[in-house]
Amino acid sequence: MALQNIFKSAYPVIGVVHLLPLPTSPRWGGSLKAVLDRAEQEAAALAAGGVDGLIIENFFDAPFAKDQVDPAIVSAMSLIVQRIMNLVPLPVGINVLRNDARSAMAIASCVGAQFIRVNVLTGVMSTDQGLIEGQAHELLRYRRELGSDVQILADVLVKHARPLGSPNLTTAVQETIERGLADGVILSGWATGNPPNPEDLELAMAAAKGVPVWIGSGASWENIPDLIQSANGVIVASSLKRGGDVTQRIDPIRVSRFVESLKRSVTARDAATASQSAAVLRVD
């Protein structure tokens, strides 16, 4: 299924479920039930607030493995994702941090999730985990081997990282799509909680030529009316937490406020576009 057809909304809001530390991670607390309970609560809160999809990631496993995570993390995430999919009737995606796209693809394919997020699909990025090289060739072949149609959302010049050299954003977007075969691209600010530059979003939209462009960080109910003008969807986490604190739980009221803010801005824009089109027809 094409990425555009996974969600019911024309401008989908994907809420993020940040998993508590998983087995073998440095801050693992020893209770998978506690991780599961928190994940289910957050998924339910996001769904109640009106998001169009979820993405589940091992956010609190930092410091992260550079590429391949421990099998215990894969096992735990598979179990948690399956439980959430049984609980909440929304499209679900997976991000295995820092860049274990192969494990994300395996989990998604086995449990029936619809998409994954890949931080570095192409190119080379300097990160706190060291140099991370994109493995698009391996991931795309693995998807084919699995007989899977899981969609790939790929970051372009991902947050918490710096590219080697000075790549042009337009070129980076085009190569991620045309050579990395991403089904959609994500643009973020420089770190968690920081939004992308609106001008960069415009450049990415132009370069993507119809392939979906997603806002990947820093969106809030205050700035989403401006950001969504040059994007096809948004992945949001920090601003939906209590007090906007990424370590806190999801606040359903904040979720509802965010979703309503996006919907109002899109409705107003569509109305303005329709009015302009009508005016042009009258003049003609």
Question: What was the pLDDT predicted at 54?
Answer: 98
Question: What is the H or E stretch that residue 15 is in?
Answer: strand 13-18
Q: Which of 94, 88, 98, 89 is nearest to 42 (CA)?
A: 88
The pLDDT score that the predictor gives to residue 273 is 63
Q: What pLDDT is stored for residue 168 in this prediction?
A: 87
Task: Determine if residue 160 is left, alpha or beta; phi over 0 gives left, psi from -120 to 50 gives alpha, anything else beta.
Answer: left
Q: What is the pLDDT of residue 278?
A: 55
Positive or negative CA dihedral for 58, 9, 222, 44?
negative
Bridge-based pairing state of the strands 130-133 and 124-127? antiparallel
**Cα 153 to Cα 229: distance, rounded to the nearest angstrom:** 20
Supply 36's token pair: 């599961």
Q: At what angle do helices 136-146 and 101-111 cross, to 10 degrees?
A: 20
Q: Give the closest residue to 120 by CA, choosing from 100, 143, 103.
A: 100
CB atoms within 10 A of CB 219: 29
Q: Calculate ∠ Cα 67-207-109, nearest 5°.
A: 40
**Calpha distance 45→30 (Å, rounded):** 25
Pairing of strands 233-236, 53-57: unpaired
Domain 8-283 CATH (choose: 1.10.760.10, 3.20.20.70, 1.20.810.10, 3.30.70.20)? 3.20.20.70
The CB density around residue 168, as the number of other CB atoms within 10 Å, is 11
Consecutive 10-residue runs of the chain (284 residues): their mean pLDDT? Answer: 83 97 97 97 97 97 94 98 97 97 98 97 90 95 97 90 80 95 93 87 96 95 95 96 94 96 88 60 57
Q: What is the pTM of this model?
A: 0.92
